[in-house]
Amino acid sequence: MPMPPATSADWLLNLNALAGGAFLLVSFGLVALRQVQGCVRLYVLQSVLLATSALLLSALFQTWHLYAVGILDLATKAVLIPWMLRRALHDEIYVRREITQVFNIPTALLMALALAIAAYFLSRPMLAAVAHDAPVALNLPIGLAGLLLGGLTAVGRREAVPLLLGLLAMENSAFFAGIALAPELPLTAEVSVAFDVLVLVFVVAVLTRAVERRTGTTAVGALTTLREDPRG
Amino acid sequence: MNLLVIPAIPLLAALVASVAPGRKGAPAVTLMGACATLGGALWAAARVASSGRLVTIAAWAELDGLSALVLLVVAFVAVLAALYSWGYLSAHGYEPRTVRRYGIHFNLFVFALVLVPVLAEPALVWMAVEFTALFSVLLVGFDGTPEALEAAWKYIALMFMGAAIALLGVFLLFRAQAVVGGGHYSWEGLRSIGPRLPQGLVIAAFVLILVGFGTKSGLVPMHTWLPDAHSQAPSPVCALLSGVKTTVVLYTILRLVPLLPAHEMDVWLQGVGLLSVGTAAFLLLQVRDYKRLFAYSTVEHMGIIVVAVGFGTPHGAYGAMLQIVSHAITKSFCFFAAGSALLVVGTREIASVRGLVRSSPLVAASLLFGALAIGGAPPMAVFLSEFAILRAGLASGAYLATALLIGFIAVAFAGILLHVNRMVFGPAPAPDPAVHRRALPTTCVLTLVLGAIPILVLGVYQPSGLHTLMTQAAAALAPAVVP
């Protein structure tokens, strides 16, 4: 049944806010969760939330661009990337619990909280320039926070897969802000970014296998021989 | 001729290299591909120099002076690197399978490097810039040693972090244009409406792209991956990474300079640049590995280019363009010389190399020549470009920045010469039977000879076509004149 236009827009914005909140929560989860398999699931969930937001905004802006972006996002990040990771790396990696994180969990979560608050303040001058745009006011701070949290994930992890997922979460977050900022961006751009991410996953999988063959570990963050100080 | 043919050549070469037979097949295909790419780039640059622009698909694939200059530099270094790769691969005696793998990655890397200047739409340029990282990471880890793999991991992690940050900048830039409305989303389209763009968004986009792509071009404080990657990769790849990849990424940052509110960001750019120059100059002094020495010198030179742009005058911009050219040809030469030293002595440690002038005079001479040239000794190309930049700095009234720049360049010069001097002169040690030494292949010698010519020539003479191109490129850094 059709709803009055104003109400449906409100509904869409509220649902988008819900997706945004969940997106931020998942970003926090990626910083702290130890199980590798759990991290992969969280990343898939984050991608689904990104797609949800894109579909909601496509209904709000009445543009098919974002609809295509949402579908593309689901196809690559919720299906193709987990499948590629499964195929490329053996099962034993996924049941691991990572206990060699750089920061312990409470410290990491406190840093994450500080970064999220910083993102809120950093986004204010940008928001001032796009005055009174409700979707941007929601998606930009959350995207920026996700970007910083993804960076924290990548810096704080030593295992190859969670580290890669941190990088991919950064890209997800940039897109989360991007769908609200640039709903009319030509689709070629989105297709090329998706392709780019797939190449990244492929290259990282090849590299991880080479590291494992060579050093017997996938804790790539623990490789620290290249330094300037004298070698012992 | 279609502009997109130029990136298509290395892509085709990558395909052919994947089936090329024997140990010489892939390097031959690579060299032919690189020569054809250079031919295309020369043709395109000549057209741009005479008519100002070359448009194949408006707002998607087009060249102006700045991008034509970058394209030309990339294609030139690619030819030398392909030639050097030939000897490098044969000296190591790799299996045909490994040689093919190298050929594929090398050509894909050149493809990505050529694609960046040819494309004009920022989102697609973002993709091409990311390709330069994705296609070079397996080359960085090519040797397969734990150190090389570690360098490759650091490299790809920081590259993609930078890319994600820059991606948000690309979105903000699109928004900035949508607010104004009209025109294409391309470098030229943005420049033509530059002054009308909302300044808050443009500055936010610029900062994000500066941080993101600055990471990729090795600006301090996000430079830590650079000496690792640029020292562990095979030497011809180092020449491409240090000589042109950093420049290509810096080029995308320079594209945003004309959009900025006039002269508001000048001091910031000078500060960012000087931080890189100063940090690298002092880090140069304490290296133990001569490939890392030249890698830090790349950080220094990226900083010099940013400072030159930060002077905010046409002369500063012209100096920056001159520096882009002279750095690319000189730094790639330095890595060819360093790679030859590595082939001949079999170690990267400065402390283990002594008296090179007695054991292998040619390598010693080219290493010394490269060190003098990159340090900025007259009459080589870098001397001319650094002199132009310092003069522009004094003329623009940025006395403190210019003074600091002179000081840091002097420190870097002393640092490079100090290390290279130790390697070249001094008593030659008794040959260590444990170290694997190789004879220098003919193609490597040829690369050194060919590479030295433009460094000397551009120091004393500028072809008029190149001068026109650099003038146009410098003009592309200034805000468009709004009617």
What is the mean predicted confidence (pLDDT) over B386-407? Answer: 95
| Structural element, H or E, at residue B480 | none
Average pLDDT, chain B: 92
- pLDDT tens for A1-45 read 454 555 788 888 999 999 999 999 999 999 988 888 889 999 999
The answer to whether A64 and A58 are in contact (CB under 8 A) is yes
CB atoms closer than 10 angstroms to residue A93: 18
- Which of A45-54, B42-51, B59-68, B433-442 has the weakest average pLDDT? B433-442
By C-alpha distance, which of B102, B66, B67, B71 is closest to B84?
Answer: B102
pLDDT of residue A6: 57
DSSP state of A207: H
Return the minimum-mean-pLDDT range out of A75-84, B194-203, B291-300: B194-203
Residue A228 has pLDDT above 80, yes or no: no
> Are B441 and B90 within 8 A, CB to CB?
yes
Q: What is the pLDDT of residue A134?
A: 84
Sequence-separated contacts (24+) of A110-114 with Cβ below 8 Å: A111/A152, A112/A27, A112/A28, A112/A31, A112/A32, A112/A149, A112/A152
Pairwise CA distance, residues B279 & B299, whole Å: 9
Residues A105 and B143: their CA atoms lie apart, in Å, by 37
Provide mean pLDDT across the span A81-95. Answer: 82
- Name the token pair of A46: 């984050």
Complex ipTM value: 0.92
pLDDT band per the 50, 70, 90 thresholds, residue B436 = low
Spatial contact of B106 and B114, defined as CB atoms under 8 Å apart: no
More confident residue, B165 or B182: B165
Using pLDDT thresholds of 50, 70 and 90, give the confidence band for residue A115: very high
Say whether residue B232 is in contact with chain A using an 8 A CB cutoff. yes
Predicted local distance difference test score (pLDDT) of residue A232: 33
Neighboring chain B residues of A195 at a CB cutoff of 8 Å: 127
- Give the nearest partner residue to A192 out of B124, B145, B146, using CB atoms: B124
Percent of chain B with pLDDT over 70: 98
H or E element, residue B57: strand B54-57
Q: What is the mean pLDDT of residues B41-68?
A: 92
d(CA B38, CA B116): 15
Amino acid identity at B118: V
> Does the distance separating the beta carbons of B141 and A177 come in below 8 Å?
no
Over residues B398-410, the pLDDT tens digits come to 999 999 999 999 9
Contact A154 B161 (CB under 8 A): yes
Confirm or reject contact between A214 and chain B (CB < 8 A).
yes
pLDDT for position A132: 67
User: How would residue A231 be classed by pLDDT, with cut points 50, 70 and 90?
Assistant: very low
Residues of chain A with pLDDT > 90, as a percent, come to: 47
pLDDT for the residue B354: 87
Give the amino acid at B115: L
pLDDT at B380 over 90: yes
CB atoms within 10 A of CB A62: 8
Q: Compute the average pLDDT of residues B370-389.
A: 94
**Helix, strand, coil share of chain A (percent; to 5):** 80, 0, 20
pLDDT at A34: 84
How many other β-carbons are positioned within 10 Å of the β-carbon of residue A94? 16
The region, left, alpha or beta by phi > 0 then psi within -120 to 50, assigned to residue B93 is left
Contacts of A2 (CB under 8 A, 6+ apart): none
Nearest CA in chain B to A174: B168
Average pLDDT score, chain A:
86
Task: Chain B: give the shortest CA distance to residue A95, in Å.
Answer: 23
Q: Is the pLDDT of residue B351 over 60?
A: yes
Sign of dihedral through CA atoms A172, A110, B209, B319? negative
Q: Is the pLDDT of residue A230 over 70?
A: no
A210–B149 CB contact, under 8 Å: yes
Question: In the beta sheet, which residues pair with residue B62?
Answer: B55
CA torsion sign, B59 to B61 to B65 to B69?
A: positive
User: Given a cut of 80, is residue B135 above it in pLDDT?
Assistant: yes
| A9 class by beta-carbon count within 10 Å (0-12 exposed, 13-18 middle, 19+ buried) | middle
Question: Are B150 and A196 in contact (CB < 8 Å)?
Answer: no
Q: Is residue B382 pLDDT above 70, yes or no?
A: yes
State pLDDT tens for residues A180-210.
998 888 888 888 889 999 999 999 999 988 8
Q: Which two tokens stand for residue B211?
A: 């941080």
Domains of chain B by residue range? 5-475
